[in-house]
Amino acid sequence: MIFTTYWFLLFAIAAMTVFRLLPGPVLRQGWLAVACAVFHWHFAGPAGVKPIIVLMILTFLAGLTRRGWVCVLAMIASVAALCFYKYSLFLIGSAVAPFSAALAAALARLAKSVMPGAPPLGVSFFVFEFVHYLFEVRRGGEPIRNPVKFLLFAIFFPSLVAGPIKRYAQFLPSLGEAARSPFSSADLAEGLARAGLGFAKKVLIADQLTAYIDYFQPHFDEQGFLGQWIILAAIAFRILMDFSGYSDIAIGCARILGIRLPENFNWPYAARDLQDFWIRWHISLSLWIRDYVYIPLGGGRQGWPRRSLNALVAFALCGLWHGPARHFVLWGVYHGCGLGLCATYARIPQLGRVVEQVIRRDPVIGWAVTQLFAWLGWLLFFYPTAEAWHMARQLFGL
Amino acid sequence: MNPPTPHFPPPARYGWIRPRWFLIGLAVGLGSLAWSGWKISRTDYHPGFTRFHSLISPEGNYYPTLDEMCAIVRAKCRPDQILVIVGGNSILLGVWQRGEDIWSKRLQELLGDRFCVINFAFRGGSPTDGGAVVAEALRREFPRQILIINEAPVTNVESFGHGPYRYIFWQAYFGGKLMDAAPREKQVREYLRDNPDQRLPVLETRISIWFDSALHYHDFWNWITFKYFGTVPSYREEYFPHFLRPRRVYPDPEVDGTDPVYLEHHYPVSALDAEMRIMRGLSAFYHREADGRWVLSERSTSDLAMYSNEAFPAPLKRRTLVLISGNSPYYRRLLTEGERAMVRQTFVDTVGIWRRVGYPAMDYGWDYNADDFGDRTHLTKLGGWKLAAQVAPEVSALAERLGYFR
């Protein structure tokens, strides 16, 4: 919603114009830092900004020490903050309530009394970027010594709300180049085209599909066979258009400033298998999960059973990252299982070889199975488990 | 040592874009759209306008702009005519009356060609919504104007519109088209102070109006959606699958409340309790004296007087005819005698207070019968025509008093 507000439009025009008019990298970066702080303050409010400032200072200082254990402690603090702000009520409800309802109620009351009304804006993105930064510094990467540059890495306004999740080794050179380089009409034109595409995806397609789904989904059972599948397609395209539209706006706005952000989507509904899907869908998150969860867990180095388990854990966390609810975890596990199956089905005696040959001979079958799997997964993502199961059964006439 | 960069896919290619031509094209395109919007904002594209029925109003996800409404007035009303704008809520909008039988049309017939009656009431609108804003915005262009509004008894009226129709007020307010009125300014300030959650939406509205004053995109897209193809769904069940159809082809969905087919829908048993609660609820503002008289509480009297006094800028009060809308006798007869007296008193007191603070005011409906109403408050064609017959002489007399015939 933030990118489709008039306030953002006015802010973006002012911030980008002044950035381009100012001479020299110091003034430009200083101005951009002020603009990003204004943006963050406006949309997050004081309650949303304070925890991020604390985490930011902690991460910055921990990075400067370059000591492994300090970085690990700072990472733990970041993840703990994320768990506290986003998942504490969910964790209390899931882990404590089954054993003691009274204790769960008391803990929930305590948590609510110290938490702001809603989790700080973009807290998941902040934490992921901070963990990435600390992880890389701990591994020997060069820390960011300039606080303004670190601030810009942390609260760069185009990517603050919904990513893409940046990598500092990629972002900082691009920022430096943008601050030094003169105005480029190519950047402006391409940035405007990209942001315009994003607005069109979001407003003209995603929002209209949302209205369609909001109207028809409650009457899902009454729809015919075709109508039910059209609703599923609408759900699948709505999330793609909405999320990739947001990413396009972020990438386009950054491009107008002369800064390159990583791509986040690459035609995911053209994927021919589930691994391919996750290389194309929310790429910056997939790569983050791969680099900072899956590989540290052991990745695919210890045989296929361990590899499948690692994928399952990584994707359960990926699901949980999307929101504090069981159906998100299930969605993650669903994809984890799918990836496990995708990586191992060929080993199934006889049947596996046959299936592999069929898919190799006719890639359309692989594409259809992958999309069916991913699209059905959206039911789990958007609706409570029982409702998603009911809808899935209806789709197959069961 | 810097960490390795993961393998993100290459950035999307825009090599086909020639920056200079793209930017020139963008500027020319945006300029053309803005110019078209500006032209459209001065054009009436509602031929034969009767009212903003539910499919061309905010309840159908169509938001008429202030300029669009002003353009209707300019197209319909000659400079030598006295402009009569109908504001208020669904009762004056003519719910339960078909477009061709609507009471405001009848009012036009009764008033004759010296007057031009335009109905800008909205369902759920307040007296200071839609029509009131348009009338005030056009006060210099159409100085001989009368505004007809309605309200329920003992209801405080905010001076800056209400709910989903407040956007029209903001368009005029932030667009600098309203009179300076200190009490209204104070109410707006207090509203923003007491409703911090509204500050950002109002700021958002203010910025959008600022953009729109240069680009006129609201008028442009309303014109497209009305004349050529729907750009947003109507959310009305029967029209949703066809939402791409232009709004001009959507028929006015109001039905004739006097049609026997609908008679059984007038007073459903399921609504009885709620309707009776509304009428009996008026007693909350009253206490009963020993001699049996119902007396409006001091607090309610002062609140009502204050809100009525501040509802419109002082110079506009005399041209604002306030109607206090009556209830159907179907429900009134279910009240006890004491309750009926109390309800009657609410009308007497409300009309009295509006008059005391400077407005011409009247109530109606006490001598209407059950068939004149489509439900507790809305009038059928029969009731609407009775209302027109009752209001027409008041409007004429008001025009006379204001010197409009000179």
Each domain of chain B, given as residue ranges in start order, spans 20-401
CA–CA distances in Å: residue B2 to residues A58, A133, A143, A175: 21, 11, 9, 16
Average pLDDT, chain A: 89
Contact assessment for residue A28 and residue A179, using Cβ atoms and an 8 Å cutoff: yes
Assess if residue A100 is contained within a domain. Answer: yes
Confidence grade of residue B11 (pLDDT, cut at 50, 70, 90):
low
Contact assessment for residue A393 and residue A376, using Cβ atoms and an 8 Å cutoff: no
Helices (H), B333-380: 337-356
Asked if A194 lies within 8 A of B207 by C-beta distance, the reply is no
Domain end among A180, A200, A225: A180
Looking at the fold, whether A98 and A158 belong to one and the same domain comes out as yes
Asked if B2 lies within 8 A of A7 by C-beta distance, the reply is no
Residues of B in contact with A10 (CB under 8 A): 207, 210-211
Assess if residue A172 is contained within a domain. Answer: yes
Contact assessment for residue B91 and residue B376, using Cβ atoms and an 8 Å cutoff: no
- Say which range, A181-195, A202-216, B251-265, has the weakest mean pLDDT: B251-265
Assess if residue A220 is contained within a domain. Answer: yes
Looking at the fold, whether A79 and A53 belong to one and the same domain comes out as yes
Residues of B in contact with A186 (CB under 8 A): 17, 19
Q: Which range of residues forms the domain containing residue A157?
A: 2-180
Assess if residue A47 is contained within a domain. Answer: yes
Nearest to B8 among A6, A189, A263 (CB): A263
Question: Looking at residue B204, what is its pLDDT?
Answer: 92
Looking at the fold, whether A248 and A364 belong to one and the same domain comes out as no
Question: Looking at residue B235, what is its pLDDT?
Answer: 56
pLDDT > 70 fraction of chain B, expressed in percent and rounded = 94
Omega before residue A164 within 30° of 0, cis: yes
Question: Looking at residue A221, what is its pLDDT?
Answer: 86
> How does pLDDT run across B58-73, given as a tens digit for each residue?
988 899 999 999 999 9
Q: CA-nearest residue of chain A to B4?
A: A169
Question: Looking at residue A121, what is its pLDDT?
Answer: 85
Helix, strand or coil, per DSSP, at residue B338: helix
Domain end among A180, A196, A224: A180
Residues of A in contact with B203 (CB under 8 A): 7
B197 touches chain A (CB under 8 A): no
Residues of B in contact with A215 (CB under 8 A): 233, 235, 240
Assess if residue A263 is contained within a domain. Answer: no
> How does pLDDT run across B73-127, given as a tens digit for each residue?
999 999 999 999 999 999 999 999 999 999 999 999 999 999 999 999 999 999 9
Name the minimum distance, in Å, from the CA of A249 to any CA of chain B: 13
Would the pLDDT of B1 be above 50?
Answer: no
Average pLDDT, chain B: 90
A219: annotated active-site residue: no
Helix, strand or coil, per DSSP, at residue A327: helix
Assess if residue A261 is contained within a domain. Answer: no
* Cα B346 off chain centre by: 24
Nearest to A190 among B17, B208, B233 (CB): B17
Q: Where are the beta strands (DSSP E) in B267-348?
A: 286-288, 294-296, 320-325
Looking at the fold, whether A203 and A115 belong to one and the same domain comes out as no
Q: Residue B57 is encoded by which pair of tokens? A: 């109003």
Looking at the fold, whether A98 and A199 belong to one and the same domain comes out as no
pLDDT > 90 fraction of chain A, expressed in percent and rounded = 54
B9 touches chain A (CB under 8 A): yes
In this structure, the number of other CB atoms found within 10 A of the CB of residue B151 comes to 23
ipTM of the complex: 0.80
Assess if residue A262 is contained within a domain. Answer: no
State the number of CA atoms in the 13 A half-sphere of A75 facing the CB.
18
Looking at the fold, whether A45 and A113 belong to one and the same domain comes out as yes
> How does pLDDT run across A125-158, given as a tens digit for each residue?
999 999 999 999 999 889 999 999 999 999 999 9
Q: CA-nearest residue of chain B to A170?
A: B5
Q: Residue A356 is encoded by which pair of tokens? A: 């592999």
Looking at the fold, whether A94 and A143 belong to one and the same domain comes out as yes
Would the pLDDT of B16 be above 90?
Answer: no
Looking at the fold, whether A234 and A344 belong to one and the same domain comes out as no
Number of domains in chain A: 3
Q: Residue B240 is encoded by which pair of tokens? A: 């949703």
Asked if B22 lies within 8 A of A192 by C-beta distance, the reply is yes
Distance CA A336, CA A348 (A): 18
Question: Looking at residue B236, what is its pLDDT?
Answer: 56
Kindly give, in sequence order, each residue whose CB lies less than 8 Å from that of residue B363, ignoring residues fewer than 6 positions away: B153, B323, B324, B325, B326, B347, B348, B350, B351
Looking at the fold, whether A312 and A352 belong to one and the same domain comes out as yes
CA–CA distances in Å: residue A10 to residues A13, A389, B207, B210: 5, 44, 8, 10
Looking at the fold, whether A277 and A378 belong to one and the same domain comes out as yes
Q: Which of A40, A42, A219, A322 is catalytic?
A: A322
Looking at the fold, whether A29 and A95 belong to one and the same domain comes out as yes
Per-residue burial over A288-315, b = 16 or more CB atoms within 10 Å of its CB, e = otherwise? bbbbbbbeebebeeeeeeebbebbbbbb
Would the pLDDT of A235 be above 80?
Answer: yes
Contact assessment for residue B84 and residue B118, using Cβ atoms and an 8 Å cutoff: yes
CA–CA distances in Å: residue A77 to residues A54, A107, A131, A161, A320: 10, 20, 10, 21, 18
Looking at the fold, whether A19 and A77 belong to one and the same domain comes out as yes
B179 touches chain A (CB under 8 A): no
Question: Looking at residue B243, what is its pLDDT?
Answer: 67
In this structure, the number of other CB atoms found within 10 A of the CB of residue A225 comes to 11
